[in-house]
Structure 1
Amino acid sequence: MYKPTLLILLISILLFSSCSHVYTPALYHADIVYQPKPASFDTVKSATYISAALGTNTSIDGQDLLTSGQINISRGYVFNGFNLAYGAFGVAGDYNNSTSSNSTTNNPPNDFKDKFFGAVGARASANLFVNSGRFDFRFIGIEMAYSHEFGSYADFRQSIKSSSDYYDDPRTNLFTVGLTSEILFHNVDNTDFENGIRVFLGTTIGYDNLSNGYYTSNTYIDNLTHYVFPKATYFFKIKQVFGSIEAGSQIMVRFGYTF
């Protein structure tokens, strides 16, 4: 009596675990990175910024781990009440799959330990600001990023996009845009030591397959966080060395040099 029930339960668990696994682009909600810009109290009004970063985040269902390194180069400007920045970046990382069985026979497509992902792209940002003493209040701004993903993880998502066994967003090109607000200030009597706090709220534009599958039965809040995501950044600069800590869908630590 219990054997058929147990068998049905095991089959249900296997089917659910297969169909509930979600695969999205490697940089989904992780393509926005803080772009430094000169402050109104800086002696230079334009500067180049080069940096390296390490970041980590989980897949949107919390099952898998993504770890990556990133190189950024950008150019920033300050005008009267206005900042502008643009730049390019490259990413290389690893997608670690929690469902790997380490078996060598009869493996389903998603039975892998890890896969490589890479990306190249460009970013741009602009903001308005007002100055008050040692503070620049960048009260409203816009930030955008375009990225193109490549590698074995992108190839895997393309290979399963017609399968009903997985939730999959096969896109390799992402465009994200959002609004920002920031406070940038220097230490008392020391304009060479700057600190900044920025918040970002944005969305990735374009259709994805998950809208008609994975998210159809979710709550309003779950659906909202699928489309709109926040990010917070702490930024510092000491003379020509700068760094940032970013928290959102991804945690990222970055250090760089400006000239």
Structure 2
Amino acid sequence: MSETHPQEPHGAGIGQKLNWLRAGVLGANDGIVSVASLVVGVAGATTDNSALLVAGTAGLVGGAISMALGEYVSVSSQRDTERALIEKEREELRTMPAEELDELTGLYRQRGLSEETARQVAIELTEHDALSAHLEVELGIDQDDLVNPWHAALSSAVSFTIGALLPLLAILLPPVQWRVPVTFVAVLIALAATGAVAARVGGASPVRSATRLVIGGALALIATWGIGTLLGTTGIV
């Protein structure tokens, strides 16, 4: 059946794949925007390479660790909740099997099956794997495909680092007069690309997603560059 619709996700492990892919796309986007805003803001105040390198590197390392920790905590909480729900459902099946069978029948009735068909489906699925049947229909959980916090954390940290390297190199390598324009162009192109990828993952419109990210990124860069320039020209820094 999967050959009939090759663009649709099928098979075990799709939840984990989408989880680390989501974390990777978000991590890359955050790395691009946050470090670009940081170095462009510093570049507005000073042309000193050391200051730009220190600021950009600190933003990269701190951001990568923060992203990894945030993803780990978030996904760990989700996984703990899923495990608790699985144990609760397992206990209910052990202590009240008849009530659970009635519940499963009712859930299939809500999906449009007749009473007789819903009952038969519930009985057959219960005989085959009662826990999996209830988890799928009641909670939308696959006990063999729980999200992995380590995968999400690693994907987020690596992608943030890769994304952050782009604006860091763009601000350091060109001549002084071209630093900010080159960084602007490189960052906006990268944001458009990550927006399109994120849209593909979620099945949304690539153009709409890319446009939102480009506009948001441009506003962030303009704001930080303006603040940095203001602080530099007024002699505050």
Is TM more than 0.5 here? no
Scaled to the shorter chain, the TM-score interval is 0.3 to 0.5
Which of structures 1 and 2 has the larger relative contact order (alpha carbons within 8 angstroms, sep 6+)? Answer: 2
What TM-score do the two structures reach when normalised by structure 2?
A: 0.32
